[in-house]
Chains A and B, each alone.
Chain A
Amino acid sequence: MKYSSQSVAMPYFIAAIGLFVGQIIFGLAMGLQYVVGDFLFPEIPFNVARMVHTNLLIVWLLFGFMGATYFLIPEEAETELYSPKLALLMFWIFLIAGAATILGYLLVPYSTLAEMTGNNILATMGREFLEQPLITKIGIVIVALAFLFNITMTMLKGRKTVISIVLLMGLWGLAIFFLFSFYNPGNLVKDKFYWWWVVHLWVEGVWELIMAAILAFVLIKVTGVDREVIEKWLYVIITLALVTGLIGTGHHYFWIGTPSYWQWLGSIFSALEPIPFFAMTVFAFNMVNRRRREHPNKAAVLWALGTGVMAFLGAGVWGFLHTLAPVNYYTHGSQITAAHGHMAFYGAYVLVVLTIISYAMPLLRGRAANGERAQVCEMWAFWLMTISMVFITLFLTAAGILQVWLQRVSDTPMPFMAVQDQISLFYWMRLWAGVVFAAGLVTYLASFFVKGDSKPLIHA
């Protein structure tokens, strides 16, 4: 750690990991509800568990992005953070607001929560991933603005690198596109159309800028490759991401009441969306192969390479699998979508956050890298979580293919619930893979407590 204000990243990373644990607990509960339908009913119905699962994911990734930013911006700008106090204040506001929202989901009926929190003044709730009460949404905007103010001010007084500029563009984009969550017209087609301006333009747009910037930062640090080379790669990757991803939004506009030309535009551009992810994979391996130093933090290198590979598989390959309109006609809204969602989020965003945590956390704890045993433990966690996520994805894909066949392709289509019974074997297998994932997560937590000779910091 080169600047003392970087230490505000630590609580953000700890909160991210804590909420990640919560996300997985609810994921397991839902996995069980898929096969034992009345599990936890009526206390925690599926829709509540799902809201908690997906909202925790979003919130912990945001904690991760913010922590990453607070860690890397002072180092890139070569100056202390504009206001570490504001960063800590925002941490507590975001954590308390997030926890209160999750408790609201769990303890209060959703319609009551909506009435209590001003949804009748401006109705924004009850749309997938944007279920947060109005006051939480406003809170997110306030936290985001304070955060962006802090980061922008830091950058203005310091060195402006390509990494920090790209990261900041991604973060501003994140905040700006979130504003579409306040627009909820009665016209369902318009509602859905602009809903994607948050969801798609986040995960297949500005989040890719954030991800690529974080990955580039870690790669510079662990490989020692010349910044000029890495920054050129960074520009190429984010160019490919936005050129394909912006019009690629069209792959969500096939069947929701929008004009049919989106079938062409969406198919063509989103078929190209794997390219930036492939470039990211090549980038990560290329930089590690050309490394000029052996960084003592081997685990961080593994997470970084894992991000490249798994983002390409999850977002690239599994996205392409069902993105062409004639294919999507059958797969839209099936378990294929769920399969893609799981591996894409894990491969791209979970792994990039765990990459920066793996790199930064030992530094925040005053060492260059963790000891051998702690790193081995962390690498076990990587493999357990990554391999089990591959299996979760494969089982959901198998379930999805059968579902599509029985319910949509067949000459004698079966009703939804009858099909669900037919494919329950795969849901059971997915659940067991989820248990292994949870074991990987426990291993990950344990890696922070493994004692051993850590690698000391060498002050230049």
Chain B
Amino acid sequence: MSGTFTKAMARNIFYGGAVFFFLLLVALTFDTMGGLPKSDNRANLTESVLRGKHIWETRNCIGCHTLLGEGAYFAPELGNVYPRRGAEFIKAWIKSQPTGTPGRRQMPNFNFTEQELDDIVAFLKYTSEINTQKWPPNIEG
């Protein structure tokens, strides 16, 4: 903060730096969007998957679980639950909630139809096939 470094210089560096790095972020965003078809599993984005995502959102699943590591840390990671447990286990598990075991963490029952359960499984299967650079480290999530 010597006398030669003036406020006007600091201001110019701020505006220059902010604009440059924001534009760089925008450019990288375009590049990322261009590369996504290779990694985001969009080929399997079926109607059932989209319905499953909508169910995932409207039951606020992210309020307890993580999905690809993002969300709450109260309940297991579900980005890889499909390979970990399989479709039938997932459906049976959701249907059997809450366990009611005293003192244990509880998941609500959402009274899903078979169709809705299939949609959720489809969404979780699609999610598990996204290329996540080999994350999580192992099947336990």
Q: Which residues of A contact B (CB under 8 A)?
A: 33-34, 36-38, 41-42, 45-48, 50-51, 110-111, 114-115, 119, 123, 125-128, 131, 162, 184, 186-190, 192-193, 228-229, 231-233, 235-236, 238-239, 242-243, 246-247, 249-250, 253-260, 262-263, 265, 329-330, 332-335, 337-338, 407-409, 413-417, 420
Contact = CB atoms under 8 A, between A and B. Distances in A.
B9 to A, nearest CB: 9
B140 A415 contact: yes
A25 B21 CA distance: 40
B79 to A, nearest CB: 9
B115 interface: no
A46 B74 contact: yes
A118 to B, nearest CB: 12
A33 B73 CA distance: 12
Top-8 shortest CB links A-B: A47-B63, A126-B57, A333-B69, A37-B105, A235-B10, A255-B135, A189-B40, A416-B76
A124 B75 CA distance: 23
Contacts of A239: 10, 13-14, 17-18
B36 A126 contact: no
Contact of B137 (A131, A260, A329): A329
A137 B12 CA distance: 35
A125 B40 contact: no
Given A45-B107, A257-B36, A413-B140, 19 more contacts: A41-B106, A45-B106, A46-B72, A47-B64, A47-B74, A50-B72, A115-B58, A125-B57, A125-B58, A187-B36, A188-B67, A190-B36, A235-B10, A235-B11, A246-B25, A250-B28, A257-B68, A408-B138, A417-B76
5 contacts: A37-B106, A46-B63, A187-B40, A192-B68, A409-B137
A233 B10 CA distance: 8
B33 to A, nearest CB: 8
A253 B28 CA distance: 12
A408 B136 contact: yes
A34 B45 contact: no
Interface in B76-106: 76-77, 98, 100-106
Contacts of A36: 103
B49 interface: yes
B10 A186 contact: no
Contacts of B40: 187-190, 257
Q: Majority SS of interface residues in chain A? A: helix
B17 to A, nearest CB: 5
A111 B103 CA distance: 26
Contacts of B32: 193, 253, 258-259, 262
Contact of A255 (B58, B74, B132): B132
Interface string B38-69: 01111001000110011011111111101111
Given A131-B60, A254-B135, A123 B14 contact: no
Contacts of A111: 58-59, 110
A256 B132 contact: yes
Contacts of A409: 137
A338 to B, nearest CB: 6
A286 to B, nearest CB: 9
Contacts of B132: 255-257
Contact of A126 (B13, B41, B61): B61
Given A111-B58, A408-B136, A416 B77 contact: yes
B25 A333 contact: no
A238 B10 CA distance: 10
Contacts of A123: 54, 57-58
Nearest to A255: B135
Contacts of B98: 41-42
Contact of A186 (B28, B50, B64, B136): B50
Contacts of B24: 246-247
Contacts of B138: 408, 413
A43 B79 CA distance: 28
A62 to B, nearest CB: 21
A337 B70 CA distance: 10
Contacts of A228: 7
B5 A232 contact: yes
A233 B11 CA distance: 10
Nearest to B132: A255
A189 B63 contact: no
Given A257-B132, A408-B136, A38 B1 contact: no
A47, A249, A416 interface centre (most CB from chain B within 10 Å):
A47
A111 B112 CA distance: 12
Given A187-B40, A192-B68, A38 B103 contact: yes
A79 B35 CA distance: 52
Contacts of B29: 193
Given A37-B106, A189-B130, A265-B28, A258 B36 contact: yes
B35 A128 contact: no
A257 B17 contact: no
Contacts of B35: 258-259
A175 to B, nearest CB: 16
A51 B63 contact: yes
Contacts of B36: 187, 189-190, 257-259
B138 to A, nearest CB: 5
Contacts of B73: 333-335, 337-338
B135 A332 contact: yes
Contact of B7 (A190, A235, A263): A235
Given A123-B54, A232-B5, A249-B25, A416 B141 contact: yes
